[in-house]
């Protein structure tokens, strides 16, 4: 079952991410997809703020992975847009079992490497400010998260 959420501005996206963070658990994997400028990094900022991370969150486009360990749980923020055939060299799959939260921007680029259980969120433009977020939970625990938050 898919779930939908309409974000009318950045604050809606930040608040939604903070609500999802309240349902966090170790080894949680959230996969974000959507065009440039749809709010993927805004979502990560909201999630990180709720975790208690005070560092500035930016998209790790050229570093691939940024690790934040100052929050309630470690946050592994990935942007795999520029990742090509070298993904095995950086150990992406290892992050899924490190006891933290992994949030991946452009996750569809590494679909075959993603865990079976995860939460996919697709960001779609409606207009300048409005986005529709489509949630697709893979596994009961992620269905429970969606049912609690949406």
Q: Domain coordinates of the chain in residue numbers?
A: 3-149
Residue 62 pLDDT grade (very low, low, confident, very high; cuts 50, 70, 90): confident
Residue with tokens 């949406």: 150
Summarised one tens digit per residue, pLDDT across range 24-38 is: 999 999 999 999 999
Q: Can you give the pLDDT at residue 1?
A: 86
- Could you say which architecture CATH assigns to the domain 3-149? 3-Layer(aba) Sandwich (3.40)
Report the C-alpha gap between 113 and 89 in whole angstroms. Answer: 13
Q: pTM for this one?
A: 0.95
Summarised one tens digit per residue, pLDDT across range 14-27 is: 999 999 999 999 99
Report the C-alpha gap between 137 and 63 in whole angstroms. Answer: 28
Percent of the chain with pLDDT over 70: 95
For residues 117-136, give the mean pLDDT. 97
């Amino acid at each position: 079952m898919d779930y939908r959420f309409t974000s009318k501005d950045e604050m809606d996206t930040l608040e939604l991410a903070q609500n999802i963070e309240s349902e966090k658990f170790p080894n949680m994997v959230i996969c974000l997809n959507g065009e440039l400028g749809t709010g993927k990094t805004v979502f990560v900022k909201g999630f990180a703020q709720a975790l208690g991370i005070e560092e500035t969150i930016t998209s790790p486009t050229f570093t691939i992975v940024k690790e934040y360990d100052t929050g309630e749980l470690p946050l592994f923020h990935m942007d795999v847009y520029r990742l090509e055939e070298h993904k095995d060299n950086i150990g992406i799959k290892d992050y899924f079992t490190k006891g933290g939260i992994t949030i991946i921007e452009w996750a569809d680029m590494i679909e075959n490497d993603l865990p079976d259980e995860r939460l996919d969120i697709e960001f779609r433009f409606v207009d300048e400010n409005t986005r529709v977020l489509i949630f697709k939970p893979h596994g009961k625990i992620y269905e429970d998260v969606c049912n609690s938050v949406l």
